[in-house]
């Protein structure tokens, strides 16, 4: 079980060749622990986050098992189904199957919302071995009789906890009810809340359990710090930090889509190349933004939590939490974007008075205090001395202000009404008053709801 090289794993030659051509020689812990069992057809419960190598851990054995029990896929009847929460992730998984399966004569297809379904249904009609899908679009296609799951051999549920966060659990139950009794099940989740544990128990038969990188230990590899700053000064602080050239490839997290657009607008105005990814962006716009960061055409990607789960880019130098997340676990997922495949990373969090209770909960989760940096020009003694607002109240305050932000930053409109001849403030002034307008380009024509 402790193979140190891919060549020690019982994988067939065409897969070994594809893995070698991809430049991988050493399997990750989850691959070492999962691949032999999955090749035997066992069910698997994997407690693992993205960045642990889990896609290859399930893709390689699925490819081998389908290839060995070869039969031509029938039209509309995939042999293996991988359900994934976001479009970015489905595309990444699809790319992995194509990469590892390039020497096998198997067919792969990916379906997700936000784009025309024509090309997707055409591929399904021709017959595919592996289908990678988001729940919503899959159910649409099943209802329209473009897909049937009654001949499925392998079912994979990826990022189950994220599915729960995104409200996909009822959809997943519908899909599970359509599956044949005889099948192999693989279930992956970074965390195991009660509902997810229940779902896993109902799906899996005598599963092998594999657990890698518990939540806190990912955080240990990352140099974390927090900066106390008034909410109105956050954009100034971000601009000052980005003057440092060592911030080469940066992901900035905001809580809302509108917040993400405003941060991008402010950075672009000061000459920092930046783009946003969130639920209102078309699939093409998201993919383009990720590609631009990868290729160095932009320095900063501003993301919301839901859009961020699919980000898998190496060499992210810094993660900046422009706003702390309500959900403590999201903090670990966010900062984990910078420590890919064992690399060191730097994570900096901005914290205003209302966010202090979120900070306390994050520190509880990771089991240590995050070092406070006071040596920056925007350090706020008020925030430092502010007493903790209860988490519920802080959330209510923040969400209340989120509604105002949503309408364009409260104070700005009032001023305009009182003095219609006065020009609206410049970005700098608006930033100080918290009233920069949302960027106008926040939505592609096919902005995906799913």
Q: What is the pLDDT of residues 4-59, one digit of tens each?
A: 788 899 999 999 999 988 877 888 888 999 999 999 999 999 988 766 788 999 99
Q: What is the mean pLDDT of residues 285-293?
A: 88
Domain boundaries, the chain: 6-213, 216-433
Decide yes or no: CATH 1.25.40.10 for domain 6-213. no
Task: State what percent of residues in the chain have pLDDT above 90.
Answer: 57
Strand order in the sheet with 154-157: 108-111, 130-133, 80-83, 154-157, 184-189, 44-47, 208-211
pLDDT of residue 436: 37
Residue bearing the bigger pLDDT, 413 or 202: 202
Q: Is the pLDDT of residue 416 over 80?
A: no
What pLDDT is recorded for position 417?
Answer: 38
CATH topology identical between 6-213 and 216-433: yes
Q: What is the pLDDT of residue 395?
A: 66
Domain over 216-433 is classified CATH 3.40.50.1970: no
Confidence class of residue 205 from pLDDT cuts 50, 70 and 90? Answer: very high
Short-list 319, 377, 369, 391, CA closest to 348: 319
pLDDT category at 286 given cuts 50, 70, 90 is: confident
The torsion region of residue 391 among left (phi > 0), alpha (psi -120 to 50) and beta comes to alpha
Mode of pairing for the β-strands spanning 222-228 and 345-351? parallel
| DSSP-derived secondary structure for 221-288 | TEEEEEEE--GGGHHHHHHHHTTSTT--SEEEE-SSHHHHHHHHHHHHHTT--EEEESTTS-HHHHHH
């Amino acid at each position: 079980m402790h193979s140190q090289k891919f060549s020690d794993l019982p994988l067939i030659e065409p897969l070994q060749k594809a893995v070698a051509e991809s430049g991988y020689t050493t399997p990750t812990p989850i691959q070492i622990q999962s691949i032999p069992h999955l090749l035997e057809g066992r069910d698997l419960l994997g407690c693992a986050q993205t960045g642990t190598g889990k896609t290859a851990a399930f893709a390689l054995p699925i490819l081998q098992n389908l290839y060995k029990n070869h039969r031509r896929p029938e039209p509309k009847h995939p042999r293996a189904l991988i359900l994934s929460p976001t479009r970015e992730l489905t595309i990444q998984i699809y790319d992995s199957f194509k990469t590892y399966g390039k020497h096998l004569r198997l067919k792969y297809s990916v379906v997700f919302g936000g784009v025309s379904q024509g090309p997707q249904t055409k591929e399904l009609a021709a017959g595919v071995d592996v289908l990678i899908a988001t729940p919503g679009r899959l159910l649409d296609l099943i209802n329209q009789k473009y897909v049937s799951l009654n001949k499925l051999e392998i079912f994979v549920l990826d990022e189950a906890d994220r599915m729960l966060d995104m409200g996909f659990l009822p959809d997943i139950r519908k899909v599970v009810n359509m599956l044949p009794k005889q099948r192999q099940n693989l279930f992956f989740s970074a965390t195991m809340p009660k509902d997810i544990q229940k779902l896993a128990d109902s799906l899996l038969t005598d599963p092998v359990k594999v657990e890698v990188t518990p939540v806190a230990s990912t955080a240990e590899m990352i140099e974390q710090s927090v900066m106390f700053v008034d909410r109105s000064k956050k954009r100034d602080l971000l601009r000052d930090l980005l003057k440092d050239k060592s911030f080469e490839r940066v992901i900035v997290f905001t809580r809302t889509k509108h917040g993400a657009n405003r941060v991008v607008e402010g950075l672009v105005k000061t000459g920092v190349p930046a783009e946003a990814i969130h639920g209102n962006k078309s699939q093409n716009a998201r993919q383009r933004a990720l590609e631009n960061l990868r290729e160095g055409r932009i320095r900063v990607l501003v993301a919301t939590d839901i859009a961020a789960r699919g980000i898998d880019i190496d060499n992210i130098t810094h993660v900046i939490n422009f706003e702390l997340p309500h959900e403590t676990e999201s903090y670990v997922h966010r900062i984990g974007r910078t420590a890919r495949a064992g690399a060191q990373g730097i994570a900096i969090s901005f914290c205003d008075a209302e966010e202090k209770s979120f900070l306390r909960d994050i520190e509880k989760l990771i089991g240590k205090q995050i070092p406070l940096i006071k040596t920056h020009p925007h350090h706020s003694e008020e925030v430092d001395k502010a007493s903790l607002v209860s988490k519920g109240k802080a959330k209510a305050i923040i969400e209340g202000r989120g509604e105002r932000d949503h309408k364009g930053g409260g104070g700005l409109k009032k001023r305009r009404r009182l003095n219609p001849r006065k020009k609206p403030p410049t970005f700098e002034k608006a930033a100080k008053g918290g009233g920069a307008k949302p960027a106008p380009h926040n939505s592609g024509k096919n902005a995906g709801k799913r």
